Amino acid sequence: MKIIMAGSISESDIASSRAIIDVILARFAIARFFFGEASESAGASIELTATLLTVGATFFVADGVQTIAAGALRGMNDTRVPLLFAALSYWGIGFTTAYALAFHTALGAVGVWIGLAIGTAVYAVLLILRFRRLARHLELVTAIATK
């Protein structure tokens, strides 16, 4: 049994990528649409919103990767180790990074989202590494069994 991990890019993948790029490019226009420019503090709100949209787009990419990797591991009946990875990534790394960036730097709300994005990215990487390890092990076991 050979596991194939590569595939063609679908139309929905292209559409999702395009939507993320559109949000990043139009972040100031999106912020102005919701906040307008009527008040004195609109400029600061628009700037914060544009920055949060950029960080949020990065977060959603990492979140999509971890969702797919977690589903693949669930399909291999591996749920305990990913749970430990989640605790380490979100609480050990993400939460502490978010706290440090939000309250010990001038980043504030942006720091919270950066910390969350870092925790999610670490989780995604750990899940991908776990999947590769289990897939390699499964391939070796299958090769030995067929000999």
On whether residue 139 sits in a domain, the answer given is yes
Q: 3-class DSSP state for residue 147?
A: coil
On whether residue 1 sits in a domain, the answer given is no
40 phi and psi, to 5 degrees?
-70, -35
Q: How many domains does the chain contain in total?
A: 1
Residue 95 · residue 115 · CB < 8 Å:
yes
CA distance 56 to 58: 5
Tell me: the pLDDT tens digits for 27-70?
667 766 766 666 666 777 778 878 888 888 888 889 999 999 99
On whether residue 6 sits in a domain, the answer given is no
Tell me: the pLDDT tens digits for 89-138?
999 999 999 999 999 999 999 999 999 999 999 999 999 999 999 999 98
CA distance 42 to 146: 67
On whether residue 84 sits in a domain, the answer given is yes
